[in-house]
Structure 1
Amino acid sequence: MSTLGELEVLFLLSFTDAPPSYVLTWLANRGIEYRIGDNLKRIISEDERAGSRAGIRTALEEAVRGFEYRLDAFSARVDTLSEVFNITLLVAPVMLYSVGLLQPYVLEKALPLLLLLNTILVFLYRDLHPKVLVSSAGYKLFLALLVIFALSSALLMHAGLEYSLIFQTVVSFPLSLLTVRKIRSVEAELNENKEILVKALQSPGHIFRAVSPESLLSDTMLGLSRSLRLTVYLSSIWGIEDPSLLLLTYEKLYNFHRKLMRKGFTNATMNLVTLFLLGFASSVIKGIYASIPLESINQWITISDPRAINLLVDLYLAGAVVIYSSGLSVLSTGSAAFTALWLPVASLVVLVGGLLGNSLLGGVHV
């Protein structure tokens, strides 16, 4: 069940003519959870005593303006995150591969650190999208991903990276489709919100003649949707203050969400090129190690088995696919919980890049 945050509560209190204390009591009696801070409680209390909504409406306007500002900040942070990923997932590994030809121990220490760095980056940038516009993916999807990671890791150790990536692509594809369906459901819900508003506000008779009360009281995936529908429901009893402003405010949030998703998905798709090049470069360096006779290698460095380096590169690639899929999920949906959306695509891109790199070296088995 969606929980109402401060923005959703502000939305609800700003437009219904019911007293704020009545609305909050009504929510509690209905078992609808909400979270508000002490500052907002103070604003609500002051407006209730003054018999106005000036403070509540001002707080809502500031929150909406914050979203508009955040769109510009989001674009800048997306570009920054993409550039950092290009460096840490492509430029840095390729440089390390070159150094590793002469100093293999560098790879053993640096590649795990790169994976850790990218994990930290995904964690730090996890709030690219406002939480009010991000839905939960559910713990079942997370558990399914853990099982896939475990099985693909076991397959990597016993059969090789190619088979592991093929398995990961095929098995995670249904999860990706489920994630796409989830995202589309959220989009459909946001569109339905707008339709409900237009019908309710343009209805010549009672609101319930245009919109059923059941649809207004049903649970939603986003707290914003629930807040908006409850606003319409309460307005059927208490009336609504400035209906045109209600529609305008929601349209601002709706358009903000659309621009955010468009920017995120476009950028995430373009970043798949980086992952392809990583797979290509890794395959080339593995091919070089596999094609140089061990006697020649030992003239420069002391290395007992080049296959150990190839395994290290494979492990790095397997980790990079997972972490990069999480990063693409953050860019496109605002949550790493939707990693399953990009996992099969990322696995396939690395696999194709590796196969092309392998064919460039004359089909050397790596």
Structure 2
Amino acid sequence: MIVAFDQVQLLDVSGPLEVLTTANRYGARYEVRVVSPTGLDVRTSCGMRIGADARVEEVPRTVDTLVVPGRRDWRRATADDELIALVGGLAARARRVTSVCAGAFLLAQAGVLDGRRATTHWELAPQLAAAYSRVAVEPDPVFVRDGHVVTSAGVTAGIDLALALVEEDHGADVAREAARQLVVFMARPGGQSQFSVRMTPQEPRHPLVRRAMDKVTADPSFPHGTEGLAAGLGISARHLARLFRQETGMTPGQYVDAVRVESAQALLSSGTASVEEIAREAGFGSSETMRRVFQHALGVSPTVYRARFRTTAPSLPRGTRTADAGCAGRSDDLT
């Protein structure tokens, strides 16, 4: 069941909907319905109208999976008592509850996220944390699972989320075929950052910081020590460190490690080179050094990251049971 309402972001609705219906071509059996508070059509954020399949009264008593999309002006959405009542009521009847982007605010307003970990679009994360103190907001991941509730980041993260749901229900092969058909990436793990470190900040104000960052990203494998970077810019290491912290919130060394992690992620995901070879090519020098940095930055080792490249599933604590995993033989009524 996908909730729709006036000014909802269109891709929050259409992204998951397209993934789930595409998966039906490869063995899934999703029956996706769109419900609105009034049962009438709604106008999306881009002006396009979308139709609702059912009124609230027509929704079955049991809801398998609930998808709650968002609206950029989340305050207007959370002030809509009828909408929040609809979301809260459906969530209470759902086996699995999910949100896309600012949809997390609707779940929070309905009390669904109280005492839970959650994420949303990185730009909105501080607002979610400030407005709902009982929600443990994690601003970086693509999606976060806490029990039967899964929240996802910005609009395209709804596609990642939907692929993860398909994999959970029908296995990686079906999810992979759907991803290939839609020409989207299958392997964006839930714990992966929402955006590249090379985009943060996009435009450092100080030209020396820009030059240092460009040098690191151009060749992550080069031994970029703070002293060497500073010498190349004609300033002291102390001055460079101060500028870096002002502009990026990181030390030069932390930025170098972050870029190298991204470089190694790409190499692990796309090639067959050994972990030791990738460690050297990415600039870590040794697989042990890369392992330590990976563990700190991503919470997984390089070998685990590589093994999971062909899966969308977020890392779960050891012993955690994924709900209805491997249930490819059953019908999935998304109502």
TM-score range with shorter-chain normalisation? under 0.3
Normalising by structure 1, we get a TM-score of: 0.22
Normalising by structure 2, we get a TM-score of: 0.23
Structure with the higher fraction of residues in helix conformation = 1
Structure with the higher fraction of residues in strand conformation = 2
In terms of Rg, which structure is larger?
1
Higher RCO structure (Cα 8 Å, ≥6 apart): 1
